[in-house]
Structure 1
Amino acid sequence: MLNTLRGALTANLQLQQIRCAHRIRGKAPIFCRTIKERLDELNYKDELYTTRIDIGLPRAKKSTEGKRISRLDHLKKNKADKELEQLARNNKLEIDLNEAKKEWLNTLGPQHKKQIADHYGVFEHLYGEGYFVPYLNLEVLYDLKNGSYLPVYTGNEIKPAEALEYPIVNYESDDSTLWTLALTSLDGHLTESNKEYVHWLVANIPGNAVEKGDTIVDYLRPIPLKGTGYHRYAFVLYKQEGKLSYDVTKVTSSSPLEDRTFVTREWYQKYQDEITPAGLAFFQTNWDATVREFFHDVLQSKEPVYEYDFPKPYHRPQEWFPRRKAFNIYMDKYRDPKQINKEYLLRKLKNEDPFKTPPPPLQFPNAQPFPKNMPSWLKLHEEKIRMGWGRINEV
């Protein structure tokens, strides 16, 4: 029996790692999983539910042979132009920005938009594993009523006060085609975090005449709540195979907010055989004062406000003789902060005279001597005030 216990103890000690006369806890590396194996286990995702699916329109095939030859000729011509080279060297070469944007939209623009939308999680929160490349350029412009327009790009910031009315929407299309335009808020639902609000839904749009389409859901301005950061609002343009009658309740501007509850993924799955996403534009917005006015005047309800609730700092019971603690700092822990700020404010106002210029600040604050009989804690206190450190800045 004793030999058996000795053998088990010896085997146990052999499995233990001993480093610098200290036993290291856990199994030896030869018996443990590698970091890669552990990370693969933690980050495992089922391919059936994570494989991304392109649900958009295919890219239109265009003949590139002639363009490739013309581009080579164009490059050779530019290289042979000495005047053009001198302008480029001196940073005086001007280009047509509209032509540059048009070239970008016809080449790398749709892929760039798709990458930005992926970065902001737009496709993930709209369609789950689905995505699409917005080959059709969707232009959305908000009229600021001062002769200027605010465009919606891919994630730019637009305040709620700038998007009070529905925008102007433009895109290239044939008059014989039908389209559906949807605007949803990806982060704004008040009660259910996995759902959205549909802010605008227009169906059966002939060509690019949005005003001639069937408005199923009237436009609702953005309503990001205070304290919730930035909210994403996405415009998605769908191409229809024919005229549709969506099974969606008509929502007007006077309808309650609950009627706008929407889930893009479920809605698209229902009509995926009749519609295909083609264009995308989205923006971000955060709270401003017009949101409060909307809740009070339109919804006739109190505005929800989210704030951080920081617990009060814990202070241990006072001691008769606190050791190794600054006297003033220790006592201020148990005083009313308003009283402390009042003392600092009175100290500031003591030397203020509305009819005299304020005295110049000390050029070398630390070089000014303190009285010899001043206690050390008070010296530190005065030094902080001279240097502008600590609570003196809170007043």
Structure 2
Amino acid sequence: MNTFRCCLRINYLSQYQQIRLIHRIRGKPPIYSRTIKERLDELNFKDELYTTRVDIGLPLAKKTSSKARKERLEHSKSVKSNKNLEELARKCMLEIDLEQSKKDWLHSLGPVHKKQIADHYGVFEHLYGEGFFIPQLNLEIFYDIKDDTCLPVYYGNIIKPAEALNSPLVSYESDGNTLWTLALSNLDGHLTENDKEYVHWLVANIPSNSIEKGDVIANYLQPFPLKGTGYHRYVFVLYKQDGRISYDIPLITSSSSLEERTFSTRDWYQKYQDSITPVGLAFYQSDWDPTVKEFFHKTLNLKEPIYEYDFPDPYIRPQEWYPRRKPFNLYMDKYRDPKQINKEYLLRKLKNEDPFKAPPPPLRFPNAHPFPKSMPSWLKLHEKKIRLKWGRVNDV
């Protein structure tokens, strides 16, 4: 009879929840719960209106598949028919013209590779949101450092602030009838607003490739990545203008404050998107060095902000009248000033120092020298550590 009642109870409960081996299973039964795919789709849901990517650059010159296949076949035939190349490659004596290979790369897969690298670093996402472009125009940028050497800007290479104190040399291919705009901004360095940038350089209405003849809207400002914030991305973007443009931006000089350099590439481009088109891209990364402190103190007249971990003070429990199983000296030192403790160790070290005499030889067998019988055990341990140079005596 009891067995029958138990079965009825189990059948009654199974109508509302799953029971396995008389244990209740949490959650809804599989026939009512959502599948893993449904749950993942809900977690990863993105509104297409705000996530669909938009190409804001110039359209690529499309090649038909038959034409590209024909070019590859002709190239492979010419290489295979040249027996001299095969012999040099077998003897490890084949030399490649790097300049020509770079030109071939820039005219073939180079722009697509640049776009992939920029996506990897999140450049387009933080510049334009859902917008992106394929940098079809090669942008060559060099920072002139001393000793007749130049430091190039590629696609994510590291350049220290001390190496980028002055404006770089910028060159690109252009005819004489085109106007350009060059913008340099820091995507990671705004001090007060996370979704804003600092414009470090902005030159408009550049005739051909003569940067010095353009209208300087924002004077060049050296990079200043803050200490403790890691690498900052500094992005150069070259825009092609449809005609001469008068940007509604106040003139920013070297004496302007950082608040005046607050910039949003997305809002700025959205305002002038009918007149400018991005075609060139280059960027580098930079982290803190001592010139940043000098820049804040001398140029901005501000105290340098430093980001670091703020560790809380260790918890010390209230003092007891009769602490048990705790060394007397170590227990009392918890409630003393560490500077006073270090001072005592230092005075003890300097007590036997004489500038006119050689220091006494160390004990050959430190533990072989007995202590007075009247000395307490905690003090014996303390003196033994000092003889063996263990513990806090080495911190002074």
TM-score, normalization by structure 2: 0.79
User: Taking every aligned residue pair, what percent have the same amino acid on both sides?
Assistant: 67
* C-alpha distance 32-227 of structure 1, shift in aligned 2 (>3 A): same
Deviation at 1:304, TM superposition (A): 2.0
Contact 2:85 2:94 in 1 (8 A): no
Which structure 1 segments of 5+ residues have no match? 1-5, 357-368
Deviation at 1:15, TM superposition (A): 4.1
Match in the other structure for 2:87 = 83
Match in the other structure for 1:272 = 273
Match in the other structure for 2:72 = 68
Match in the other structure for 1:213 = 214
Contact 2:57 2:132 in 1 (8 A): yes
Structure 1 residues 1-395: aligned runs within 5 Å? 11-19=12-20, 22-61=23-62, 64=68, 67-78=71-82, 81-88=85-92, 92-317=93-318
CA distance in 2, matches of 1:268, 1:74: 47
Q: Which amino acid is 2:61 matched to? A: A
Deviation at 1:137, TM superposition (A): 0.9
* C-alpha distance 236-10 of structure 1, shift in aligned 2 (>3 A): same
Q: Which amino acid is 1:152 matched to? A: V
Which structure 2 segments of 5+ residues have no match? 1-6, 352-356, 359-366, 370-376
* C-alpha distance 286-82 of structure 1, shift in aligned 2 (>3 A): closer
Per-residue CA deviation, residues 194-231 of structure 1 (Å, 9 max, x unaligned), is 11111111111111111111111111111212222211
Q: Which amino acid is 1:226 matched to? A: K
TM-score, normalization by structure 1: 0.79
Q: Which amino acid is 2:30 matched to? A: P
CA distance in 1, matches of 2:29, 2:395: 55
CA distance in 2, matches of 1:176, 1:192: 39
* C-alpha distance 347-46 of structure 1, shift in aligned 2 (>3 A): farther
Q: Which amino acid is 1:75 matched to? A: V
Deviation at 1:23, TM superposition (A): 2.9
Secondary structure of 1:137's aligned partner: coil
The size of the alignment, in residue pairs, is: 374
Q: Which amino acid is 1:167 matched to? A: P
* C-alpha distance 61-29 of structure 1, shift in aligned 2 (>3 A): closer
Secondary structure of 1:76's aligned partner: helix
* C-alpha distance 344-159 of structure 1, shift in aligned 2 (>3 A): farther
- Decide which moves more: 183-192 or 61-70: 61-70
Contact 2:79 2:85 in 1 (8 A): no
Deviation at 1:70, TM superposition (A): 3.6
CA distance in 2, matches of 1:133, 1:12: 63
